[in-house]
């Protein structure tokens, strides 16, 4: 399962970004490993940032998105996929994963999260 | 000759002055007045039309993807610079409001499954009264395609020897659409620091495009001398100065009351007409 969390910076210690299309980075969690996706090209688009970000997320094969809010256009792109979306306002990336992991049937503890990369 | 009335700032009096000037020169010739402020057109409200023609829609060709035969290769999505297309397993989704109708997607599609359909972005309305033909462009609610609408509006405008264009405010794309089609620009500015700051941006545009232009100071009995000083310093011609009148501002009459304040010795519209004739000679 591939989980994408919108983030303000390239590290998982950077804070959660409540924006979806205009988030600079996404922290991707898969098989107990983290990696970072640089979304700045999409985020800086003059128009349709939500659509192009959603497109990148789909192309990456993401299964779950955790973000603050999803605009109407990004929602339309995501709605026709099998991606699950969780809206959150928790300030850190790790807290967000811990919060939603049980709903996804994942058993994640702060320790397993640290043992990645 | 085509003359645009423009300003960096909204509410400086472009429409009022364009309308008053059109009325002034329409005394002895035919004039086309184009309301190109398509996001908020208002000349029709102030125009006593003897005839008004039915509005005509303006559309852009927007792609339609046949998702039954689409191979989902993503070439169109990759090509689109405006993020107007997205691809998921159900096929390609089109976002007409973002599409700039460049036609590139149908050109790059390897199996030709993209056709085009008109997407309405607004309408134009033509009205007449004596010597003035007024054409107005009105952007559809929610549409952001002001530029192609203005370009189409200018094409549909009745061709008269003198055309006056009430430009949209600002110094961005919609002004550019007007600026590309005119011979000269009258910049309307208020004599305030805010008015000056916005005037500077349109002066930059006019200089960059090497256009003939001059400045009309509206509400010249208010504010300070900053616009005057700026124009003197940069050798920009002041075409006319128009005072603010309480009764004009409060009346909102269909026929401009502004002119009733002008006497034959000192009529700003006459000064403007003289400046325009001088431009005509230069062109």
Residue B279 CA to residue B283 CA, distance in Å, equals 6
Give the tens place of pLDDT for each residue, B34-49.
999 999 999 999 888 9
Residue B264 buriedness (CB in 10 A; 0-12 / 13-18 / 19+): exposed
User: Chain B residue closest to A78 (CA)?
Assistant: B88
Size of interface A-B (CB pairs under 8 A): 40
| Confidence (pLDDT) at A115 | 47
Interface predicted TM-score (ipTM) of this complex, two decimals:
0.83
Which of B74, B83, B93, B96 best tests the A interface by mutation, with the highest count of A CBs <10 A? B83
Which positions 179-208 of B are in contact with A (Cβ < 8 Å)? Answer: none
Closest alpha carbon to A31 in A102, A111, A108, A93:
A108
Give the tens place of pLDDT for each residue, B70-114.
999 999 999 999 999 999 888 999 999 999 999 999 999 999 999
Percent above pLDDT 70 for chain A = 97
- Please say whether the beta carbons of A29 and A97 come within 8 A: yes
Q: Are strands A64-67 and A84-87 parallel, antiparallel or unpaired?
A: parallel
Kindly state whether residues B245 and B268 are assigned to the same domain: yes
Closest alpha carbon to B185 in B125, B237, B263, B111:
B237
The stretches in chain B having pLDDT less than 50 are none
Domain of residue B142 covers 2-57+122-282
- Tokens 């603010």 sit at which residue? B244
Q: Has residue B117 been placed in a domain? A: no
| Confidence (pLDDT) at B90 | 86
Kindly state whether residues B179 and B100 are assigned to the same domain: no
| Confidence (pLDDT) at B254 | 59
| Confidence (pLDDT) at B85 | 96
Residue A71 CA to residue A66 CA, distance in Å, equals 14
- With an 8 Å Cβ cutoff, are A80 and B90 in contact? yes
Closest alpha carbon to B105 in B89, B93, B97:
B93
Asked if A54 has any chain B CB less than 8 Å from its own CB, the reply is: yes
CA distances from B53 to A2, A91, B115, B137, B157 (A): 59, 58, 32, 13, 13
Q: How many CB atoms lie within 10 A of CB A90?
A: 18
Q: Which two tokens stand for residue B206?
A: 């006019």
CATH number (domain holding residue B84)? 3.30.70.20
Kindly state whether residues B180 and B94 are assigned to the same domain: no
Kindly state whether residues B96 and B206 are assigned to the same domain: no
Asked if A47 has any chain B CB less than 8 Å from its own CB, the reply is: yes
Kindly state whether residues B13 and B47 are assigned to the same domain: yes
Q: Which two tokens stand for residue B130?
A: 């004596």
Q: Has residue B62 been placed in a domain? A: no
Query: How many domains, in total, are found in chain B?
Result: 2
Sign of CA dihedral A94, A99, A102, A104: negative
CA-only gyration radius of chain B, Å: 22
| CATH topology (fold) of A3-114 | Nucleotidyltransferase; domain 5 (3.30.420)
Kindly state whether residues B149 and B24 are assigned to the same domain: yes
User: Chain B residue closest to A49 (CA)?
Assistant: B83
Kindly state whether residues B271 and B170 are assigned to the same domain: yes
Residue B116 CA to residue B62 CA, distance in Å, equals 5
Percent above pLDDT 90 for chain A = 82
Distance from CA of B81 to the nearest CA of A (A): 9
Give the tens place of pLDDT for each residue, B141-153.
989 899 999 999 9
Give the tens place of pLDDT for each residue, A14-38.
999 999 999 999 999 998 899 999 9
Asked if A23 has any chain B CB less than 8 Å from its own CB, the reply is: no
């Amino acid at each position: 399962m591939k989980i994408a969390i919108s983030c303000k910076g390239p590290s998982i210690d950077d804070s959660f970004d409540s924006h979806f299309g205009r988030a600079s980075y996404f922290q991707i969690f898969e098989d107990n490993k983290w990696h970072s996706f640089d979304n700045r090209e999409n985020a800086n688009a003059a128009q349709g940032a939500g659509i192009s970000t959603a497109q990148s997320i789909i192309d990456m094969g993401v299964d779950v998105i955790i973000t603050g809010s999803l605009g109407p256009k990004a929602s339309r792109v995501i709605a026709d996929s099998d991606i699950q979306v969780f809206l959150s306002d928790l300030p850190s990336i790790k807290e967000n994963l811990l919060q939603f992991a049980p709903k996804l049937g994942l058993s994640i503890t702060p320790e397993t999260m640290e043992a990645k990369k | 000759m085509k003359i645009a009335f423009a300003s960096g700032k909204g509410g400086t009096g472009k429409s009022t002055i364009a309308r008053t000037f059109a009325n002034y020169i329409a005394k002895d010739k035919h004039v086309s007045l184009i309301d190109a402020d398509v996001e908020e057109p208002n000349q029709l409200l102030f125009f006593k039309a003897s005839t008004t023609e039915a509005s005509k829609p303006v559309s852009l060709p927007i792609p339609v993807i046949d998702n039954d035969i689409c191979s989902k290769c993503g070439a169109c999505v990759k090509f689109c610079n405006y993020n107007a297309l997205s691809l998921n397993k159900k096929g390609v989704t089109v976002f007409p409001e973002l599409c700039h109708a460049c036609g590139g997607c149908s050109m790059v599609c390897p199996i030709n499954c993209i056709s085009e359909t008109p997407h309405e972005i607004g309408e134009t309305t033509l009205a007449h009264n004596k010597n003035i033909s007024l054409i107005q462009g009105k952007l559809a609610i929610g549409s952001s395609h002001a530029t192609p609408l203005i370009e189409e509006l200018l094409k549909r405008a009745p061709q008269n020897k003198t055309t006056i264009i009430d430009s949209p405010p600002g110094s961005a794309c919609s002004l550019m659409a007007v600026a590309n089609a005119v011979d000269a620009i009258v910049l309307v500015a208020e004599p305030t620091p805010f008015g000056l700051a916005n005037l500077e941006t349109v002066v930059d545009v006019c200089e960059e495009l090497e256009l003939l232009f001059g400045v009309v100071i509206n509400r010249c009995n208010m504010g300070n001398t900053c616009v005057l000083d700026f124009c003197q310093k940069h050798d920009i011609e002041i075409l006319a100065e128009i005072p603010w009148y309480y009764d004009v501002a409060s009346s909102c009459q269909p026929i401009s009351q502004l002119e009733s304040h002008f006497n034959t010795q000192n009529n700003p519209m006459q000064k403007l007409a003289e400046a325009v004739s001088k431009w005509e000679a230069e062109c």
